[in-house]
Amino acid sequence: MQDKTFESLGLIEPLLKGVREERYTTPTQVQEEAIPVILSGRDLIACAQTGTGKTAAFALPLMQLLAKDNRPLAPRKARVLILTPTRELAMQINESFKTYGRHMHQYTAVVYGGVGQTPQVRAMQRGVHVLIATPGRLQDLMQQGHIRLDGVEFLVLDEADRMLDMGFKPDIDRILAKLPSRRQSLLFSATMPENIVDYARTILSNPVRIAVSPESPTVDLIDQQVMFVDKDKKISLLLSVINEKGIKRALVFTRTKHMANRVAEHLAKNKIPADAIHGNKSQNARTIALDRFKSGRVNILVATDVAARGIDVDDITHVINYEIPDEAESYIHRIGRTARAGQSGTAISFCEAQERTNLNNIQYLLKKEIPVVTGHSYHSQRAQYAKGEESRMPQRGGGNRGYRNRSSRPQNRSGHGRQDGHKKGGYQKRRRYD
């Protein structure tokens, strides 16, 4: 599978040049499968997570199709419309188009809420090749007459599952009603539950369906560890982990905004440059924090789950779960921020006694135990041996795959030092329970 090249996918030279300059040598699986389909003009439904290279999988062929029929732009119109759930993702997609398309001379605009609309309106005035938008702001600008969608030839719904989860369906429906019915449509989703498949049927016409490796290579590449610790020792453990491992670029997750601030402040007090991002921060403050992190001026970014969605920063070597998420699915999203596109990464979870249930749920979802590291100064046996509740994940696929009795539950009671859990299994089917 991996011996394909970007050249063999039929991409034109200016795009190949952009890809080479990014030092991508081989297409990822989703790129290998999606690019020829999109270039052939077919609709596509793709099950692919962030981190698999899915942005380039649609950006590259779309830019090529635009160039093939180089018609003039019309004021306030876009030829490609990309809908995404979050502003961070919208900005990242825009960056990707600019990066991969730096030799294509195509115009993009990005439209999202939480910031003034004037620059966005201005960007649309003469029309663009590619418009990337979150559904709410797009509708605002359409209603005010600043954007018209009757010239859209290509539609991309990115992270469709998340858009539906976030309640965007009515907005998307209203937006889609304004699009020409003759168009090429692509739908990308990290998970493929029934409601997405049904919804896709109403939007796509005779689509090609692809799914990238359900074994989730990204998660398999991550070195996952648990450290048991008492609540009041977490900050000391964090400082020692960062200092001892000489961590240069880590994302630290907390459950609450308040805790994100507190952790970032503690780190800064201890001379570790850190910023916090969460929903209470303005869009500007979040962008600045993200830029500082990307440029390496800040080593540690402390984030809540919502703020971290879609963050795509290369070379994050460590994800630290300062607090274990309530939703097991969030754990997968969190650790997926490291080990991007084939690189390795480490995910360390700090687990206190009260978080055992959450940890059990995560291990149930992963279908494996996360190896425990006990050889640190703040190891808590109390946390390690706390039982937690039985996994409260619903059972899937009809079979009894729950942990019925304690002997088969993922608990780690033996020995010291690092213990490896079941190697087999791994994360197979992504499903959402939130």
Under the binding rule (CB under 6 A), the answer on residue 224 touching ligand AMP is: no
Stretch that binds ligand AMP, among 8-16, 46-54, 127-135, 147-155 (CB under 6 A): 46-54
Q: How far is the CB of 60 from ligand AMP (least distance, A)?
A: 9
Segment 55 to 74, residues that bind ligand AMP, using CB under 6 A: 55-56
What distance, in Å, lies between the first and last C-alpha atoms of the chain? Answer: 34
Helix axes 257-269, 234-245, angle to 10 degrees: 50
> Which of 65, 115, 288, 341 forms a contact with ligand AMP (CB under 6 A)?
341
The residues near 332 (Cβ < 8 Å, ≥ 6 apart) are 216, 219, 365, 427, 430
Q: How far is the CB of 54 from ligand AMP (least distance, A)?
A: 4
CB of 89 vs ligand AMP, minimal distance in Å = 9
Residue 81, beta-bridge partner list: 131, 155
Distance of CA 172 to the CA centre of its chain: 20
Q: What is the largest CA-CA distance in the chain?
A: 69
**What is the smallest separation between the CB atom of 315 and ligand AMP, expressed in angstroms?**
9
Binding of ligand AMP at residue 86 (CB under 6 A)? no
Q: What is the DSSP string of 96-133?
A: HHHHHTTTT---EEEE-SSS-SHHHHHHHTT-EEEEEE
- Choose the stretch contacting ligand AMP; rule: CB under 6 A; options: 26-34, 208-216, 237-245, 363-371: 26-34
The side-by-side arrangement of strands in the sheet containing 345-351 is 222-228, 345-351, 318-321, 250-253, 300-303, 274-277
Helix (H, G, I), strand (E, B) or coil at 206: coil
Question: Structure tokens of 417?
Answer: 């030092």
CA angle centred on 238, ends 234 and 244, rounded to 5°: 140
Single residue of 29, 32, 46, 52 touching ligand AMP by CB under 6 A: 52
Q: What is the DSSP letter of 262?
A: H
**Residue from 234, 340, 379, 430 that binds ligand AMP (CB under 6 A)?**
340
Sole window of 34-42, 52-60, 251-259, 260-268 interacting with ligand AMP (rule: CB under 6 A)? 52-60
- Asked if 51 is part of the footprint of ligand AMP (rule: CB under 6 A), the reply reads yes
Size of the site for ligand AMP (CB under 6 A): 15
Is 28 a binding residue for ligand AMP by CB under 6 A? The answer is yes
The answer to whether 194 contacts ligand AMP (rule: CB under 6 A) is no
Question: Which residue, 224, 188, 194, 193, is CA-closest to 208?
Answer: 188
Assess 24 for contact with ligand AMP (CB under 6 A): yes
32 lines the binding site for ligand AMP (CB under 6 A)? no
Q: Restricting to residues 292-331, which ones interact with ligand AMP according to CB under 6 A?
A: 312, 314
The residue within the footprint of ligand AMP, chosen from 18, 53, 85, 101 (CB under 6 A), is 53
Q: Which residues bind ligand AMP (CB under 6 A)?
A: 24, 27-28, 31, 50-56, 312, 314, 340-341
